[in-house]
Amino acid sequence: MVVNFKVFKKCSPNNMITLYMNRRDFVDSVTQVEPIDGIVVLDDEYVRQNRKIFVQLVCNFRYGREDDEMIGLRFQKELTLVSQQVCPPQKQDIQLTKMQERLLKKLGSNAYPFVMQMPPSSPASVVLQQKASDESQPCGVQYFVKIFTGDSDCDRSHRRSTINLGIRKVQYAPTKQGIQPCTVVRKDFLLSPGELELEVTLDKQLYHHGEKISVNICVRNNSNKVVKKIKAMVQQGVDVVLFQNGQFRNTIAFMETSEGCPLNPGSSLQKVMYLVPTLVANCDRAGIAVEGDIKRKETALASTTLIASQDARDAFGIIVSYAVKVKLFLGALGGELCAELPFILMHPKPSRKAQLEAEGSIEA
């Protein structure tokens, strides 16, 4: 049996410290998060000098534009979630992974393992997309594994002897579908008899990225108004929890039709409209929430944020949600009738084989 490992490697600028990790995505299952594990390798000179080496899990939350910062004012908070000393090693029991065991055998006595547990209530990795011409640091939540040398974990790190490796906290779709979304809204009119009824149904509650959303629309016009146009759209809701008024929405997919219209009084209409929300169609728009580091080629729209309870909303997080909105246009005097249905948009949980390939454990 041959076991191959795919490993991420990063060295400090002075080449004295090297970090090895077999993955950069860590799954949040709402109640717990996968542990962050890796290996730190030191140069012989650092070992002889008995240097203290610390590893930290850092959450970087930027909530404002870098260009708007002034002296003494920064729109960024850097939180150290976990900190531990890896060299000289402390007395603690570490359950090594297969990757750590093999790397320790290969890298020799200058290699030191570490395991960190990310808090379950920590926010998901989400950043807000910028314009292509904007090269400043994006707003959002990002995580880094930081390795540095110092007398204590509170010491200011020096750039030449520091490693910062970006990681992501991700969530996968639940295995079970929820209740099928359905809503009915009605509108009556002043000095006009009857009412206009709009019923909207989705074929399911949970969708995967790139999947087609079927919006079933049923209109019953018992009023004396005329429906002139129908519009269906997918909206991404972004809630920056730090601010009281930090909620905003972006339309990321829409379809407009006049087929079957005008819908006269006493008539009814049944229609199915299909929408596919993708990042490709919104790649040039600023303010769209995307997953993790936008420099990665495999980045997609941010997944729906799943939280155990409303009390668990971290003050330094970004909550992402999705909803389908349907509008009936009745003309200048008639106004509009709107119906809205929330749904979940996430990545499917990888199969066991895909997880092994991602972690680099493949049997041949």
Q: Summarize the confidence of residues 218-243 as an average pLDDT.
A: 90
Distance separating alpha carbons of residues 361 and 61, to the nearest angstrom: 33
- The pTM of this model reads 0.84
Dmax over CA atoms of the chain, in Å, equals 90
Task: Tell me the one-letter amino acid at 284.
Answer: D
pLDDT higher than 70, residue 278: yes
Report the top-level CATH class of 8-172+352-359: mainly beta
- Per-residue model confidence as pLDDT tens digits over 34-73: 899 999 999 989 888 888 999 999 998 887 776 666 666 7
pLDDT higher than 80, residue 350: no
Domain definitions of the chain by residue range:
8-172+352-359, 182-346
pLDDT at position 296 is 57
Going by pLDDT thresholds of 50, 70 and 90, the confidence category of residue 343 is: very high
> Do the domains spanning 8-172+352-359 and 182-346 agree at the CATH topology level?
yes
Going by pLDDT thresholds of 50, 70 and 90, the confidence category of residue 351 is: low
Mean confidence (pLDDT) of the chain: 85
Residues with Cβ within 8 Å of residue 6, at least 6 apart in sequence: 22, 358, 359, 360
CB 58, CB 81: distance < 8 Å:
yes
CB 145, CB 1: distance < 8 Å:
no
What is the secondary structure of 97-119 as a DSSP string?
Answer: -HHHHHHHHHH-TTEEEEEE---
- Per-residue model confidence as pLDDT tens digits over 301-316: 999 988 877 666 665 6
pLDDT higher than 50, residue 252: yes
Q: What is the separation, in whole angstroms, between the first and last Cα of the chain? A: 6
Provide the CATH number for the domain formed by 182-346 in this structure.
Answer: 2.60.40.640
- For residue 47, the surrounding DSSP H or E stretch is helix 44-48
Task: Tell me the one-letter amino acid at 95.
Answer: Q
> How distant is the alpha carbon of residue 60 from its chain centre?
14
Distance separating alpha carbons of residues 41 and 56, to the nearest angstrom: 16
Neighbouring CB atoms inside 10 A of 240's CB total: 21
Q: Summarize the confidence of residues 313-337 as an average pLDDT.
A: 84
- Using DSSP's 3-state secondary structure scheme, residue 237 falls into strand
Return the structure tokens found at 187.
């509108």
For the chain, give the percent of residues with pLDDT over 70.
Answer: 89
**Which of left, alpha, beta for 281 (phi over 0: left; psi -120 to 50: alpha)?**
alpha
pLDDT at position 4 is 64
